[in-house]
Amino acid sequence: MDLLASLNEQQREAVTTTEGPVLVLAGAGSGKTRVIAHRIAYLIAERGIPPANILAVTFTNKAAEEMRERVESLLRGSKLASAPLISTFHSLCVRILRRDIEALGEGYTRDFTIYDQDDSIRLVKNCLKELGYDEQRLSARSIQSAISHAKNSGLDAEMFAARVEYNDERRAAIARVFRLYDERLRANNALDFDDLLIKTVQLLRRCADIRQHYNAKFRYILVDEYQDTNALQFALVQLLTEQQQNLCVVGDEDQSIYKWRGADITNILNFEKHYKDARIIRLEQNYRSTQNILDAASHVVSHNTERKGKRLWTANPTGEKIRYYQAPDAEMEARFVAATIQEHLVNDPRARIAVLYRTNAQSRLFEEALRRLGIPYQIVGGFSFYERAEVRDIIAYLKLALNPHDSLALQRIINTPPRGIGRQTVDEIERRARDCGGSYWEAISIMTEQGDGRARAIAALKGFQQTITRLVTLAQRAPASEVVKAAIIDTGYELALKAEGTEEADARLANLQELVNAAVEYDAREGGGLREFLDAAALISDADQYRHDARVTLMTMHAAKGLEFPIVFIVGLEDGIFPHARAAADRAELEEERRLCYVAITRAQRILYLTHAMKRRVYGEELSAEPSQFLSELPLELIEDLSRGRSWLSLKRASIALEDRYAPRRYQGKTYDSVDSIAEFFRRRNARTDQTDRAAAVASQPGEFKPGTHVRHPKYGRGLVIKREGTGDSAKIIVNFPGYGQKKLIEKYANLEPA
C-alpha cells in the first residue's frame, strides 16, 4: 500500500512531517481533507502509531464523518485494535466531561443534561421572571446571545460582572441574569452548548492529573479549519499539547469568515509564536477551479493585510472569462440569473449550479424568478423565504387582518412579540373557546367584556384586540404593502427585533423588509389586495418542496464554504449589501467581508457570474445602489461584460483608458543643445498648443458634462452622469445620485460642479 503515490509534493510533505508542530496553509480546493485523511492513515500504517493515540477535531459532524470514511477506505484490509478518534470539538468535550466532570467540584455529575439554544432561552425567560424584569424591555433571546458570546470569549458570570461599568444598567441586568442562569443550570445538572467548551477547559486547567492523562493518550493531534477556532478551542488545543507538540493544524486564513461567531483569525496568523520551531507547509495547487477564477480570487484577497500569503495555481485550463452583468434593478437581476440558469440546463441537464448571496433575505427574488420558469431548486443553510419563522409570524397577523376568527394564526402570535399574555391566560382562552364553541377571538372578547381574571392579563388582551382591530380596518381600504408594514411596525415586532441587537435579529429584520418589498412589487404588478397577496404567498409556501437531486442550489456565501459547483452566480454585489453596511467604518470587518468574497469566488469550478443591480428596494422604497468595491479589486482583463448598454464596467474601462492616454510620458524625441534650437522648439510647441485649445473650445462648450463624469449638486451631493440629451442651452443630463436615485436636470440651470 503506497499512501503517498497520489499526493503532490507539498501534500506528501504535510503527510510525512509527523513530529512537532506543523501549520498546513491549505488554499481553497487544494486537497485539505485528503491530506488530513492520508496523514492519519500514514501515522497508523507507516509509523505504527496506535489509533487510540490519534485525535482529529473539526467543526461539523458531516466533516468528521467524511474524514472517518476516507481513513477507513485508506486502511481497508488493515487489522486495527481500535479506531482513531475523529470528532467535533463539542463531541470531544462531552466525551471528556462524561468521564471527569465530577473532578471540577461544582456539583455536576456525569449524567448531566445538555441544553440546546431553545432550552437556554426558556431558562433565561424563567430567570427574567424570577428577577422581576420585563421581557419586553430585556429580550430573552438577546440576553442568551450575550451570555453565549461571553462564554465563547472565556468569561464566566463573575468575570462578566466584573467588566460591567457602573452606569451601564443593561449590562448590569444581563450580569444578574447570567449569574442566576448559571445557578439554575447547576441546580438542574445541565450544561448549555457553550459550557461544554468552557467546563472542559476549566477541568484541564485545574486538574493536572486529568490533563496529563489526555496528553499521554492523544500523542498526535490534528485540527481542521484552524482559522475558525475561538479563544476556548485554542486554549483546549494548548492544554492537550502541553507535554508533546505533535500537532498538525490545517487551515486557510483567507477563509476565516466566522468572526461574528467568535472565531479568532490571530490563532492561525500567530501559530509560530504559540508553537516554537513550527513548520509551515503551503498547499497552493488548486484542483477545483480554472486559473482565471483563481486569479480573480487572489487579486481580491490580496487587498487584505491580515494574511500570511499564498498564490493559488492549477494545472487546469485557463478557462473562460468571468461573466459580469449589471441589472437596472434587483428584479431584473433575478430574471437574468434565472434565464441564464435555464440556458445552462438546456445545454446540460445535469449541470450543477449555485446562486450565492450575502444574506438569506436576498433569496426571495431568485426563488420567484426560478419558479416562474419552472426550474426546481433547493435552499441550503436556511429555510425558504416564506417558511422563515418571522415571515410566518407576520403572515399570521395578515391572516387575522382578513379573518380574526382564524384561531391557528391567533395562537401563533398572541404573545409574539411578548406582550404579557402568558401560558395561563392562553389556556383560559382555549377553555373559554371550547366552552362557548367559538373561536379564540370570541373567547377574548368575552374575557375583556366581563373583565374577570388578572387585571394585567386583561389589559394585555385589550391591547392585542386593539392591534388586530386596527389591522382589520386597514386591510379593508389599504394596499397590501401598507398592511404588511403595519403588521411589522404597529404590532411591536420590529421594535422587539431591534431591541435584541444581535446579528440574528438583524437578519430576521432584513427578511421582514424583504416581505414589504414583495408586497410593494405585488401592488405595482398585480394591483390586487391583501387576500390575493396572501394567496400568492401561500402557493409559494405550499409548493415549497425541494428535490434532493435539484440541479440549482440557493445559499448564503457562509453556507457555501466547503462546497464546489461547476457554475456559480455571486449576486447582489453592491456596497451596503456585500460588503455589508457594518464593514463601512471597520477595517477588520471589511477584511472579513473580503475573505467571504474569496470563499464565494473559489466555490466555482468552471464558470463564474458576478451580478449587481443599480436600484434596489429597501423597506419598500426604491433606492440607487453603488457597485461593490470588490468589483474594483478584480483584474478587469479577466471579465466579460454581458450588460446591456453602458455599465459600471464599461465606464471603468473607459476611465482607465483615458488615464493611460493622458498619463505623463517620458520624451524620446530629438534633443536640443543650443539656445536657438531650444527657442525654436518652444515656438513650435506653443503654436501646436494654441491650435489644440481652439479645437477643444469648438468641440466642447463650457460646463458640459459627459456620461461617465462625476459631478456635485448643491442638494443631492456627488453623482454620476448616466446620459446626455441635446446641446446648448436646452441640454439635459441624467445623473445618478446615491440615496436619491436618478435625476433629470437642465444642465445650464443645475448648478453642477466637477467632483
Number of Cβ within a 10 Å radius of residue 703? 12
Lowest mean pLDDT among 82-96, 194-208, 486-500, 645-659: 645-659
Query: Is 508 found in the same domain as 430?
Result: yes
Q: How confident is the model at residue 702 (pLDDT cuts 50, 70, 90)?
A: very low
* Residue 135 resides in a domain: yes
3-state helix, strand, coil in the chain (%, to 5): 55, 15, 30
Is the pLDDT confidence value at 383 over 80?
A: no
Domain's final residue, options 520, 539, 558: 539
Give the model's pLDDT for residue 456: 87
Catalytic one among 135, 192, 225, 333? Answer: 225
**Cα separation of 439 and 423, whole Å?**
18
Mean pLDDT of the chain, nearest integer: 87
Cell matching residue 322 = 468571468
Active site residue 32: yes
Q: How confident is the model at residue 705 (pLDDT cuts 50, 70, 90)?
A: confident
Give the model's pLDDT for residue 545: 39
Give the model's pLDDT for residue 682: 61
Lowest mean pLDDT among 154-163, 387-396, 412-421, 540-549: 540-549
Residues in the annotated binding site for ATP: 26-33
Tell me the average pLDDT across 423-449: 88
Q: How confident is the model at residue 430 (pLDDT cuts 50, 70, 90)?
A: confident
Cell matching residue 630 = 470588490
Query: Is 649 found in the same domain as 557?
Result: yes
* Residue 414 resides in a domain: yes
Q: Are 291 and 29 in contact (CB under 8 A)?
A: no
- Max mean pLDDT among 497-501, 588-592, 654-658 falls in 588-592
Tell me the average pLDDT across 114-123: 80
Domain's final residue, options 515, 539, 563: 539
Q: Are 248 and 39 in contact (CB under 8 A)?
A: yes
Lowest mean pLDDT among 83-92, 591-600, 713-722: 713-722
Query: Is 558 found in the same domain as 569?
Result: yes
Give the model's pLDDT for residue 547: 44
| Percent of the residues in the chain that have a pLDDT greater than 90, as a whole number | 54
Cell matching residue 576 = 451596503
Q: How confident is the model at residue 170 (pLDDT cuts 50, 70, 90)?
A: confident
Catalytic one among 11, 241, 255, 629? Answer: 255
Instruction: Work out the burial of residue 72: count CB atoms within 10 Å of its CB; fewer than 13 is exposed, 13-18 middle, 19 or more buried.
Output: middle
CA 488 vs CA 7, 464, 468, 514, 522: distances in Å = 56, 14, 12, 12, 17
Catalytic one among 100, 135, 195, 224? Answer: 224
* Residue 329 resides in a domain: yes
- pLDDT single digits (tens) 225-247: 999 999 999 999 999 999 989 99
* Residue 699 resides in a domain: no
β pairing state of 54-58 and 220-223: parallel
Is the pLDDT confidence value at 556 over 90?
A: yes
Cell matching residue 579 = 460588503
Degrees to nearest 5, angle at CA 582 with 578 and 585: 110
Cell matching residue 163 = 467588566
Phi/psi at 548 (5° precision)? -70, -20
CA dihedral 679, 681, 686, 692 (to 10 degrees): 170
Query: Is 550 found in the same domain as 529?
Result: no
How many structural domains is the chain composed of? 5
Q: How confident is the model at residue 675 (pLDDT cuts 50, 70, 90)?
A: low
Query: Is 224 found in the same domain as 366?
Result: no
Q: Name the residue range of residue 411's domain.
A: 385-539
Give the model's pLDDT for residue 630: 96
pTM tops 0.85, yes or no: no
| Percent of the residues in the chain that have a pLDDT greater than 70, as a whole number | 90
Give the model's pLDDT for residue 678: 58
Active site residue 224: yes
Number of Cβ within a 10 Å radius of residue 170? 14
Cell matching residue 419 = 406582550
Buried b (16+ CB within 10 A) or exposed e, 632-647: eebeeebbebbbeeeb
Give the model's pLDDT for residue 754: 85
Query: Is 422 found in the same domain as 353?
Result: no
Query: Is 412 found in the same domain as 380?
Result: no
Give the model's pLDDT for residue 600: 98
Give the model's pLDDT for residue 546: 34
Tell me the average pLDDT across 589-613: 97
Active site residue 603: yes
Query: Is 392 found in the same domain as 378?
Result: no
* Residue 109 resides in a domain: no
Q: Name the residue with cell 490534528.
A: 222
Query: Is 460 found in the same domain as 412?
Result: yes
Is the pLDDT confidence value at 327 over 70?
A: yes
* Residue 675 resides in a domain: no
Give the model's pLDDT for residue 543: 34
Query: Is 460 found in the same domain as 527?
Result: yes
Select the more confidently predicted residue: 65 or 248.
248
Is the pLDDT confidence value at 676 over 80?
A: no
Give the model's pLDDT for residue 382: 60
* Residue 604 resides in a domain: yes
Q: Can you say whether residue 107 is alpha, beta or left, with left for phi > 0 and alpha for psi between -120 and 50 degrees?
A: left
Is the pLDDT confidence value at 155 over 80?
A: yes
Domain's final residue, options 657, 675, 694: 657
Q: How big is the chain by its Cα radius of gyration, in Å? A: 31
Active site residue 255: yes
Phi/psi at 547 (5° precision)? -80, 140
Domain of residue 348, CATH code: 3.40.50.300
Catalytic one among 32, 288, 485, 561? Answer: 32
Instruction: Work out the burial of residue 730: count CB atoms within 10 Å of its CB; fewer than 13 is exposed, 13-18 middle, 19 or more buried.
Output: exposed
Q: How confident is the model at residue 490 (pLDDT cuts 50, 70, 90)?
A: very high
Lowest mean pLDDT among 37-41, 283-287, 383-387: 383-387
Residues in the annotated binding site: 26-33
Tell me the average pLDDT across 481-502: 92
Domain of residue 417, CATH code: 1.10.486.10
Cell matching residue 471 = 389591522
Active site residue 424: no
Amino acid at 9: E
Active site residue 88: no
Tell me the average pLDDT across 113-126: 82
Query: Is 142 found in the same domain as 43?
Result: no
For residue 110, what is the DSSP state? T
- pLDDT single digits (tens) 249-306: 999 999 999 988 888 999 999 999 999 889 999 999 999 999 999 999 999 999 999 9
Cell matching residue 92 = 470531544
Give the model's pLDDT for residue 110: 81
Q: How confident is the model at residue 679 (pLDDT cuts 50, 70, 90)?
A: low
